Amino acid sequence: MRPTRFKNPQAEDGQFQLRLIVAYCFMLLMFGILIARFVWLQVYQYEHFSTLAQNNRISLLPILPNRGLIMDRNGVILAQNYSAYTLELVPSKMPDMNATIAELAKLVNITPRDEKLFKKLLGESKDFESIPLKVKLSEEEAARVAANAWRYPGVEVKARLFRDYPYKELTSHVLGYIGRINQKDQERLDDEDKSTNYKGSNYIGKTGLEAVYEDDLHGQVGFEEVETDSGGRAIRSLRRTPPVNGNNLKLALDIRLQEVADKLFGNRRGALVAIDPTTGGVLAFLSKPGFDPNLFIDGIDSQSWAALNSDWQKPMINRALRGTYPPGSTFKPFMSMAALETHSIGMHDVRPAPAFFTLPGSSHQFRDSNKNGNGSANLAKAIQVSSDTFFYKLAWDMGIDKIAPTVGQFGLGRPTGIDLDGEASGVLPTKEWKAKRFARYKEEYRRWYPADVVSIGIGQGFNSYTPLQMANAVAILANEGVAYKPHLVQEVVEAKSGKSRLVEAKPDRTLPFKQENFAYVKTAMQSVMKPGGTAWRLGIGLPYTMAGKTGTAQVVAIKQGAKYNASALAEQYRDHSWFVAFAPVDKPRIAVAVIVENAGFGAAAAAPIARGLFDYYMTGKVPSSISGDMKTMPMDTADDAAATSD
């Protein structure tokens, strides 16, 4: 290829040469500015900078903000800070660490647990970092170490802020806990460009609200610019930017209500979620058993960790948030809404409610809870007596395509979006779900059988939901379709100004269902608490109106023709006891879902808890049974017991 000649060489050349000159002058000008800058820095500012660099080195000391408090709706403190002395070691400054620790052990009581924890932190930290050997020294211990510290280089007594959860187990699954910043946390902070704000910080929210609201709770680190001498000691403070303390969280939770719920549970396992239907605020959020979050703050020792992990009751699992259970008969009100909305049944249609339901062309008998059946019933009656055969037939008639979309509107089968991490989504079965769930199996497993819907109609089969989802669904039902996103935190309050930011003040959405259908189902649920209803005994002497639904979720399938016999089964295979309810019926102020694991019939275990909780919430009276024996609570055996027979 030959070099191309220019069209008008002279004009083009002139143009090009001009541009070269412009570019060259521009470069010289810019370098000139640079030189001017150097002259300014190195001649005019020379003394200033060499003072900074040589005579006194300026250190920036981070000043930690106080972590925000967490309190309940009445201002009761659930998470607080307190100051205590810690004995800390800087490994890089110590000639012989083991000898020093041995010497220190003569001054303060260092337990093997302290030492183990120290070794663990030592492995995770850098040499020049200060690592706590013993936290929470007594005044006397602190004084003793301080008096002798000069003999041991690298030993310091520091006042530090600690987190404390006064309600321990009671709030563990709500608040979560904070813990020391580890390698992984540090990497995340670096990635999110937040590590500056954590200079000097030791702790970060690990789980629960402490983690979700970390940005609010932590606050802004402050710093002090100090002149230091050649030994690194601070001489005087030059400038101080105060830290901004973390924001306080005010929860919708009522800790006394939570405590009542906890007491009513006693030592049983399960979960309870109570929601204010008019705001979505979570009034009580309990997962039993809990654990003591205080154990985690300074790093949990391996013994306590192993104990928590190997406990067969799994106290670390947040059952309210992550436990998924078949809803049992508590599903029926939502089924009923679906039936009414899709015109699958009229409000006054009376249909048979026999002892057995048999599919066309099959001999399999789906039994009713009442072994004699309930004769015939309309929809309201079927809810009241919890007729299984009625709902088997109804579900069979409707098919899953009519049930799932309507029931799904109540938020069942998907995360509610509550302000906690790790929420389980549960399962609202559909044809697509089944095909996907069993995608790796044979076609006959993946296919949706018409009969699949039968047990779903009474809340068994494939469907399973978290207690939180159930409480949320009941709240939406109680509120006649106006749905709020459930949330634990009601307000974020700025520590300094006291200004607060409301969380979720507006309804999330409104369900497009008819008001009369809501009213119908609510009235039917109210009749559950009345004579003839499955929880009638719990309705005795109600000073307010209450609507509910019992449920029994089966853990193991009972063979055709066999009889469920709780006492013959190992405890962990016994049915779960469910109850969902709201009160008062007209203008509901509280909606609740309770599950007691392996406790049998809904009316027997879960419903009394809800009644006690409502009594306290509506009247302020602590149920007398709490201090006494739980067995004295009213019991009901006429519940939808045999819902377990499918």
Partner 1 sequence: MTLQPHLIKRLWLTIKAPLDGPLMLFLGLIFALSLVVLYSANNQGLDKIDNKLIYTLLSLTIMWLLARSRPQSIMNFAPPIYGIGVVLLLAVHFKGVTVNGSTRWLELGITRIQPSEIMKIALPMMLAWFFQKYELSMRWWHYLVAAVMIAIPCALVLKQPDLGTTMLIAASGFFVLFFVGLPWKVILGGMVAAGACMPVVWNMLHDYQRRRVMTMIDPMEDPLGAGYHIIQSMIAIGSGGPWGKGWLNGTQTHLDYIPERTTDFIFAVYSEEFGLVGNIILVFLYTLVLSRAMLITAGAQTLYGRAMAGAITLSFFVYAFVNMGMVAGILPVVGVPLPFVSYGGTATVTLFVGMGMLMSIGNARR
In the complex, the residues that contact partner 1 under the rule CB under 8 A are 1, 3-4, 6-7, 12, 15-17, 19-20, 23-24, 27-28, 30-31, 33-35, 37-39, 41-43, 45-46, 48-50, 52-54, 57, 60, 62, 190-193, 195-197, 199, 221, 223, 225
Could you give the count of Cα atoms lying within 13 Å of 267 in the half-sphere of its Cβ? 2
Residue 363 Cα distances to 228, 278, 454, angstroms: 90, 48, 14
Closest distance between partner 1 and the C-beta of residue 226, in Å?
Answer: 12
d(CA 95, CA 102): 13
For partner 1, the closer CB: 6 or 82: 6
For partner 1, the closer CB: 55 or 560: 55
Closest distance between partner 1 and the C-beta of residue 51, in Å?
Answer: 8
Q: Are strands 70-71 and 248-251 parallel, antiparallel or unpaired?
A: parallel
SS3 assignment for 413-446 = CCCCCCCCCCCCCCECCCHHHHHHHCCCCCHHHH
Closest distance between partner 1 and the C-beta of residue 183, in Å?
Answer: 15
For partner 1, the closer CB: 46 or 573: 46
For partner 1, the closer CB: 193 or 444: 193
Do 553 and 564 form a contact (C-beta atoms < 8 A)? no
Closest distance between partner 1 and the C-beta of residue 14, in Å?
Answer: 11
Q: Which amino acid is at 487?
A: H
Could you give the count of Cα atoms lying within 13 Å of 620 in the half-sphere of its Cβ? 0
CA dihedral 565, 569, 571, 573 (to 10 degrees): -90
d(CA 610, CA 538): 9
For partner 1, the closer CB: 196 or 302: 196
Do 391 and 332 form a contact (C-beta atoms < 8 A)? yes
Closest distance between partner 1 and the C-beta of residue 132, in Å?
Answer: 23
For partner 1, the closer CB: 54 or 627: 54
Closest alpha carbon to 470 in 525, 410, 518, 519: 410
User: Which residue is it, tokens 């100051």?
Assistant: 83
Q: With b meaning 16 or more CB within 10 Å and e meaning fewer, what string describes 507-527?
A: eeeebebeeebbebbbebbbb
Instruction: Point out the catalytic residue in the list 287, 329, 344, 387.
Output: 329
Closest distance between partner 1 and the C-beta of residue 239, in Å?
Answer: 9
d(CA 604, CA 640): 11
Closest alpha carbon to 614 in 550, 552, 545, 551: 545
Residue 329 designated active-site: yes
Do 604 and 637 form a contact (C-beta atoms < 8 A)? yes
Q: With b meaning 16 or more CB within 10 Å and e meaning fewer, what string describes 228-240?
A: eeeeeeeeeeeee
Do 330 and 337 form a contact (C-beta atoms < 8 A)? no
Q: Which amino acid is at 485?
A: K
For partner 1, the closer CB: 38 or 573: 38
Closest distance between partner 1 and the C-beta of residue 128, in Å?
Answer: 11
For partner 1, the closer CB: 54 or 565: 54
Give the list of residues 6+ apart from residue 571 with CB closer than 8 angstroms, or none: 598
Closest alpha carbon to 575 in 550, 599, 557: 599
Closest distance between partner 1 and the C-beta of residue 486, in Å?
Answer: 31
Closest distance between partner 1 and the C-beta of residue 41, in Å?
Answer: 4
Q: Cβ of 500: how many Cβ atoms within 10 Å?
A: 14
Q: Which two tokens stand for residue 643?
A: 């819902």
Closest distance between partner 1 and the C-beta of residue 196, in Å?
Answer: 3
For partner 1, the closer CB: 181 or 528: 181
Q: Which two tokens stand for residue 435?
A: 């095909």
Cis peptide before 584 (omega within 30 of 0): yes
For partner 1, the closer CB: 6 or 449: 6
Catalytic residue numbers, as ranges: 329
